[in-house]
Amino acid sequence: SLQYSLLSRFFRVGIRAPPKLLELAVQSLLRDEALAITALEELPAELFPPLFSAAFAGMHSQAVKAMVQAWPFPCLPLGALMKEHKPHLETFQAAIDGLDVLL
């Protein structure tokens, strides 16, 4: 049918899926780094990995440092992040500075 043909063409062209709620939350928090840092106390643990990854990739140095200090898990995957994202020196230094505070 004509309607099916139009719909299949429309979807074949490729519509970008809307961002997931998690992605929107991460983007919203990182728009205001001070807010993100303040929100860490209330942030559910399961949101830390995607927020940390986005902060690290987006060179949000102050958020990275604060998140390292507040990290709720026994392991912090800095090596994996460095392989996934080419770290900006300042962002990597912020992560190290966050670790220094804990030691």
Encoded tokens for 103: 């030691």
Domain ranges, residue 75: 2-102
Sign of CA dihedral 58, 60, 51, 102: positive
**Can you give the pLDDT of all 103 residues of the chain as single tens digits?**
444 444 454 555 555 666 788 888 888 888 998 988 898 989 899 889 999 989 988 889 999 999 999 999 888 888 877 777 676 778 888 888 888 877 7
Total domain count for the chain?
Answer: 1
Q: How many of the other CB atoms lie within 10 Å of CB of 70?
A: 15
